[in-house]
Amino acid sequence: MDLPDDVRDLIALHLVTGVGPRLTSALLEHFGSAAAVLNASQAELMEIPYLGAKVAESLTRALANPDVPRECAAIQDNGVHLRLLGRSDYPANLATIDDAPHLLFVKGVLETRDEKAIALVGSRACTSYGKRLAERIAQDLARAGWTIVSGLARGIDGCAHRGALQAKGRTLAVLAGGLSRIYPPEHKDLAQEVAASGALVTESCMSMEPMATLFPARNRIISGLSRAVVIIEAAEKSGALITARLAAEQGREVFAVPGPVDSPASAGTLQLLRKGAKLVRGADDILEDLQEMPALVEEKNAQPVLPLDLDPVQQKIWEALAEKRNVDDLCESLALSISELARQLMTLELKKIVRRLPGNSYERF
């Protein structure tokens, strides 16, 4: 496969196990290019903050022998193309998040209209109620011209994709593993339909197994591609709640569909609603709010106004965030326990009043 040297160098860096988006950013910022990273010595790698001797040693060995020709062959054989962060064809919504992937593997077509996207996610072990709502909401949003983003997983994700396809709309599926290893295997046919009516997207190299540790990172791409995230059925410890938290950190709107109060399948969504997520009965509720939603690129010059619906503790947190503050600093200055502060900050994130920054710090919206 004939690719420019800078792209092949980035593929080589991407093939190194353990080099995620944050470390990739640090390496590229320090060395200036992927080629310079590949040629760096162990001593030079140790100049990167928090990169110890053992990690630098293993990284040096791994950087020496990336199998780029094999990866390029897999890309070509599977009809995949690449999108690079900083290029004009990179998804605009995704480019706004702090830890955007430097390299995206795409099967299908990403279009400019996919900036008008909504993520629908939820439990794999969903009920018939959840399936029905996921398909119906996805259909209605797709008919209204919105691209449906989800994770191709069993349960709610699969229903969301199918709903969009039934409405002859566009849908994007974000995978945790590589595009030559569709997971779950029973969704192989669904994946082909999604690629024909939108795209399959991942940051994982072609043959990467969909390991459990990759799914939380995958979720940030689902929310990052979207303007809003809708949670349709989620248990108390569902991975969909990770997507909701990431969406709030990224400045996306978070919606949740209520369910029976005694249903374990709805425990997570009900928890989100208590913490400030917007209640959704159907697509009309979402579309009404989206009409009033500000652009993802926020206007920085407006003067902050104290929100009206904060309790006394939340008001103190908001006032303390007149400038960016670290969580430890907030705990000390506000005399709050870390658990209480974390709970309040999540509530404020869901209300789009504060946002989380790298380094476990927060600032006002």
Select the more confidently predicted residue: 365 or 30: 30
Q: How many Å separate Cα 65 from the centre of its chain?
A: 30
H/E segment holding residue 185: none
**pLDDT tens figures, 269-307:** 999 998 888 999 999 999 988 875 655 544 334 445 556
| Token pair recorded at residue 269 | 């969504």
> Per-domain residue ranges for the chain?
5-73, 94-291, 312-364
Select the more confidently predicted residue: 113 or 59: 113
Q: CA-CA distance, 256 to 229, in Å (whole number)?
A: 8
**pLDDT tens figures, 1-58:** 678 888 998 998 888 877 777 788 888 888 988 889 888 888 888 888 777 777 788 7
Q: Tell me if domain 5-73 and domain 94-291 are identical in fold.
A: no
What is the full DSSP assignment across 75-98? HHHTT-EEEETTSTTS-TTGGGST
Question: Per CATH, the architecture of 5-73 is what?
Answer: Orthogonal Bundle (1.10)
Does the N-terminal peptide bond of residue 210 adopt cis geometry, omega within 30 degrees of 0?
A: no
Helix, strand, coil % in the chain, rounded to nearest 5: 45, 15, 40
Q: CA-CA distance, 337 to 252, in Å (whole number)?
A: 27
For residue 302, the model assigns a pLDDT of 46
312-364 CATH choice from 1.10.10.10, 2.40.50.140, 2.140.10.10, 3.30.70.150: 1.10.10.10
Contact criterion met (CB below 8 Å) for 226 and 252: yes
Beta carbons within 10 angstroms of residue 184's beta carbon: 15
**Backbone torsion region of residue 155, taken as left when φ is above 0, otherwise alpha when ψ lies between -120 and 50, otherwise beta:** left
The overall longest dimension of the chain from CA atoms, in Å, is 61
Nearest to 319 by CA among 310, 147, 285, 286: 310
Q: CA-CA distance, 17 to 11, in Å (whole number)?
A: 12
For residue 18, the model assigns a pLDDT of 72
Q: Where are the alpha helices (DSSP H) in 117-210?
A: 128-143, 156-166, 188-196
Q: Determine whether 304 is exposed, middle or buried from the number of CB atoms within 10 Å of its CB (0-12, 13-18, 19+).
A: exposed
For residue 201, the model assigns a pLDDT of 98
Q: CA-CA distance, 333 to 275, in Å (whole number)?
A: 24
| Token pair recorded at residue 18 | 């353990």
For residue 82, the model assigns a pLDDT of 96
Beta carbons within 10 angstroms of residue 50's beta carbon: 7
Select the more confidently predicted residue: 98 or 76: 76
Q: CA-CA distance, 179 to 206, in Å (whole number)?
A: 5
Beta carbons within 10 angstroms of residue 5's beta carbon: 10
Contact criterion met (CB below 8 Å) for 166 and 135: yes
**pLDDT tens figures, 218-277:** 999 999 999 999 999 988 888 889 999 999 889 899 999 998 888 998 999 999 998 888
Q: What are phi and psi of 328, to 5 degrees?
A: -60, -40
94-291 CATH choice from 3.40.50.720, 1.10.10.10, 3.40.50.300, 3.40.50.450: 3.40.50.450
**pLDDT tens figures, 157-202:** 999 999 999 999 999 999 999 999 999 999 999 999 999 999 999 9
Q: What is the mean pLDDT of residues 101-116?
A: 95
To the nearest 10 degrees (0 to 180), the angle between helices 5-14 and 21-31 is: 130
**pLDDT tens figures, 317-354:** 888 888 888 888 888 889 888 888 888 888 888 777 88
For residue 306, the model assigns a pLDDT of 58
Q: What is the mean pLDDT of residues 60-78?
A: 87
Q: Which residue has the tokens 């979207």?
A: 226
First to last CA, the chain: 45
Q: Determine whether 51 is exposed, middle or buried from the number of CB atoms within 10 Å of its CB (0-12, 13-18, 19+).
A: middle
